[in-house]
Structure 1
């Protein structure tokens, strides 16, 4: 049996839903699957049954050191990882991001039997929000081009990014597009309704009848501030924010809500496992994603939360960004707004609340979207790539 290694040292498995689905697909393709990750207290889930777990973390070099000492430390860590990889006799190594791909390429140069490499990019890496200097982007571009041309194949999360990357690097082989869709969830309508009623009872003193939710990482750039101000304009609406945030940002959001009169109609919830999101998203009237166009990576975003709302049969209000806009129009499952325009988002919320014919059509259209925008469909593309490029 051939061995497939998912390389993600330093990254937790508990929140790596896309990586777990990829590993399950590799198992289905007949591989022995090994995950190299880091999460000290991780308890293996049923989803990873049969996957061999190898905890590993690159050790940081603390304090001030000479350039020679820094490189000596880096090479030492590469050798340590190389030994772990070599001990598992990989035939294929799927790399979670560009830094992992770089390390895998370097250390496997010394293997007598070199494994095939897969570059699994989860965003538009060259134009990520943190890459601001042109010098840094040019360096990363040269590195990515060099490494992608030495991979069996690469994976991008949507068509726009795949097209851009192929053009930038003049690649003969277009990256394979695997969108970050969840499995086709089975919904328990009674459980959803119980949760919805519990939320409405909590908001009963405020007269709330319409629930909007943003879920995922709570951070600037996601348009959450706009969402709070828009909900404030609709007295019967409330906003639920579900996910992790740092204390300072949460205080900022609470201050905004207080200033615009929505403090009593804003609630924070902790993150939940991916396979439980439907209990919360399904209880909402609408899922909002007013993501701001801060960089090309954001411009081409097609986030997990989009598909998680679809799987929860919840209509969406999304930013006017190409990938989300295309799917909203194609399936007729929501509305498009200008992400930094409070009035525009408020009008979208109000239409969802009052135009029952339109809202019901969105709900009906979500049934088709749910069947088609799921991992069961997306997985077939990945399995085809395994057969085409790895055999």
Structure 2
């Protein structure tokens, strides 16, 4: 079969979509992935070394990246000038704060790698009084101009609001549909709710085509979701789900939850958990890379750095613990906020940031830790019922786990005896769980190594192939 997948990210680091595409290719199918193009970062059309063909469409970012780059250069030049005129140290925190006019999307991480420019050090030697005075007077004015510009841009974005988002979504959907129709696929595979309309439209306009809906989250109950956005998601899922011939979810609980919301799910619906491939790993020298002394236990968080992922209570917990260091690996809009907070609290030796790391190297770094953190906060039904890939990455790497006491995460942690499930938002509970595990660390690590055989992509890939084999005839 010819399969056309739709995903609204840049398809640089999406391990789940990659694994599904490769499994289908191994089963003899042709796979095209339609994703988002990031200028100067991704190719518009490529066939990757792993055999996946990728076509990307313009994201219509309205110049967010360019605005941030201009703001970044301007912020650096202001603080460099101030240091040169007054002899003061350069305020790197102020540069970071001023350097982002608008937040960039975590859907296209390659576009977000540029950091604020490193300002040049202050000129040494005695600074004239008049020069210093000019610096003291003029710098606040320049900073005010930067703040005023940022306020103006953010106000315009707020006033455009849903209209701006709707225009961008319309343009992306139109381009994806065009490529999908050109593909003349046998099956369209929509990854997440934001591409379900695209897949449904392509199916309707391609005789004999089938549609698979692949829900990576519980989209009507997501984290930080406002009232109107939730209503819009509910309408979309209820409207377009009947077009699907099969449905995939990333957590067993979600089939029941989606049926409650929509009143129907395809009979061919299955949970395919985002587990890693079964493979050996070679632990990397994480201690040496981050100057962590021998004898210090390493607690690890890896994944998208966002609010309600349990990172803040983990920082509070490690501050209470002797002989422990927290390493946070990944990217996301919340990383800068956390780094600033850690620095302000003087916890740089207790909390260290690293990465992001390419997917094919990640487990080797994971294996260098002692305990993996999967304490997702119960801030939404999607989070509460989730089964994050990091849980299974920790197991595959053979390290102990501290997980949320939620229905799915808590079930796996308890059933496999790989660690301790606790209140994910309570720093004291996290600290107690850490102490419990460290008293018998090798036992928990051995349980993880044993559980690898029951939680790997080979098992999930078979479910995927069975689902495709069960699609109705064209």
TM class by shorter-chain length?
Answer: 0.7 to 0.9
Count of residue correspondences:
373
Residues 172-213 of structure 1 deviation map (CA, whole Å, 9 limit, x = unaligned)? 62631000111112122xxx2x6155268x233xx7521111
Q: Does 1:293 align with 2:378?
A: yes
Q: Does 1:382 align with 2:464?
A: yes
CA RMSD, Structure 1 to Structure 2 (Å): 2.9
Q: CA deviation at 1:76?
A: 6.5
**What pairs up with 1:1-391 in 2 under 5 angstroms?**
2-8=1-7, 10-40=8-38, 41-42=41-42, 49-59=50-60, 78-111=173-206, 113-133=207-227, 135-171=228-264, 173=267, 175-188=269-282, 192=283, 195-196=285-286, 198=288, 202-204=291-293, 208-246=295-333, 248-255=336-343, 257-258=345-346, 262-353=347-438, 355-356=439-440, 359-391=441-473
Residues 123-158 of structure 1 deviation map (CA, whole Å, 9 limit, x = unaligned)? 01010124220x543342232123222211011101
**SS of residue matched to 2:376:** coil
1-side partners of 2:46 and 2:179: how far apart? 23
The answer on whether the counterparts of 1:211 and 1:237 sit within 8 Å (CA) in structure 2 is yes
Gaps of 5+ in 1: none
Gaps of 5+ in 2: 64-155
TM-score, length-normalised on structure 1? 0.86
Q: CA deviation at 1:79?
A: 4.6
TM-score, length-normalised on structure 2? 0.72
1-side partners of 2:189 and 2:469: how far apart? 15
**SS of residue matched to 1:238:** strand
Residues 301 and 84 (structure 1 numbering): CA distance in 2 closer, same or farther, change over 3 Å? same
The answer on whether the counterparts of 1:195 and 1:279 sit within 8 Å (CA) in structure 2 is no
2-side partners of 1:27 and 1:298: how far apart? 31
Residues 3-46 of structure 1 deviation map (CA, whole Å, 9 limit, x = unaligned)? 101112x4111211100111112212322111111244337999
**SS of residue matched to 2:5:** strand
